[in-house]
Amino acid sequence: GKRDVDDPRNSLIFHFQRLVLELKPKFFVMENVPGIASGEHKELLNILISSFLEAGYQVEENYQVLNAVNYGVPQARKRLFLIGCKKDYELPKYPQPTTILPKIKVPQRYKKVNLPAVPTVWDAIGDLPEVENYSELLHRDWVIAEYGKCSTYASIMRGIDGLDDDYSYDREYDRQILSCSLRTKHSQESMERFHAAKHGEKEPISRFYKLHPEGVCNTLRAGTDRARGAYTSPRPIHPIAPRCITVREAARLHSYPDWFRFHVTKWHGFRQVGNSVPPRLAKVVAAQIISALGVTAIKPSLKLTWGDDSLLKLNWSEAEQYYLKS
């Protein structure tokens, strides 16, 4: 993505640098928009790499841009990853792709690649209850709802099925609860435009992208923070219903399991999704570090329950006060 050199978010790069140099971890991974490796931004990246080398770290200077769609995430999302480690450890390799685009999107040169297709948009969200059927979701973000038939991907997101290489804590929660699904009130005119929009293209007036059920999601973005106007990035249009997707639907398209909850407001919830590394992509990068360490991962036996609901309702100042006291 594009980003101004003077963008205050660039300062986060040097906060990351400071934390690595102060904490001295064995390994580190930094993720950022691909634009950081071009133009004036590249100087920031070179300064960062040089500081790590001077501090005794190995850094993979042939850094790579990874696309989440190649790692089991139903979203086209390219991000640059910078990986480093202390000199007495083996530098992790970048993960090899595990999935390719669905057949309708695969370029001819990739037709012979022997990899499974990434889950589609409908694989990801097709089982989720239609929020327009639940009036409760006009004033709160959760409801007890009836789910549809799960795809393999959706079954994993719901926690019905698991993976052999899942080393996360199991979670105890009610799988009939549809969370993070506060409805959006669209005008009749907007709904008609959304309905008429073509799958896989932008709606001409709003410029919102309408998801193709057999394709993948476009990049989910966070929007701007308070200092830059607190604008919400355009949310994709649901492939079937004439509305924008919910935070839960965005989370599914980002590969978050259903037990993971976000802020109760749509603005904060979408920012949390859009600002994050898709869990499935983070997992394959982390697996390379496990391999470099030469250790065997073990799944914990402890089951965790849902956390404190009230934390999902804090505003900026309340959250700041809470975590500073903690």
Structure confidence by residue, pLDDT tens digits, 156-177: 999 999 998 999 999 999 999 9
Domain with CATH 3.90.120.10 in the chain: 121-279+304-325
Q: What is the CA radius of gyration of the chain?
A: 21
Q: What is the mean pLDDT of the chain?
A: 92
Which helix (H) or strand (E) segment holds residue 195: the answer is helix 188-196
Tens-digit pLDDT profile for residues 121-151: 999 999 999 999 999 999 999 999 999 999 9
- Alpha carbons 36 and 31: distance in angstroms, whole number: 10
Residue 290: per-residue pLDDT = 96
What is residue 12's three-state secondary structure?
A: helix
Residue 111: per-residue pLDDT = 58
Tokens of 239: 């492939």
CB 303 within 8 A of CB 170: yes
DSSP state, residue 321? H
Residues in Cβ contact with 63 at an 8 Å cutoff, skipping those fewer than 6 apart: 37, 80, 81, 82, 83
Q: How many beta carbons lie within 10 A of that of residue 102, not counting itself?
A: 19
Domain with CATH 3.40.50.150 in the chain: 8-102
Fold classified for 8-102: Rossmann fold (3.40.50)
What is residue 28's three-state secondary structure?
A: strand
pLDDT above 80 (res 1):
no
Tens-digit pLDDT profile for residues 275-301: 999 999 999 999 999 999 999 999 999
Q: What percent of the chain has pLDDT over 70?
A: 91
Instruction: Give the pLDDT band of residue 269 (cuts 50, 70, 90).
Output: very high
- Alpha carbons 303 and 59: distance in angstroms, whole number: 37
Residue 2: per-residue pLDDT = 46
- Alpha carbons 114 and 97: distance in angstroms, whole number: 11
Rounded average pLDDT over 195-219: 97
Domain 121-279+304-325 matching CATH 1.20.1630.10: the answer reads no
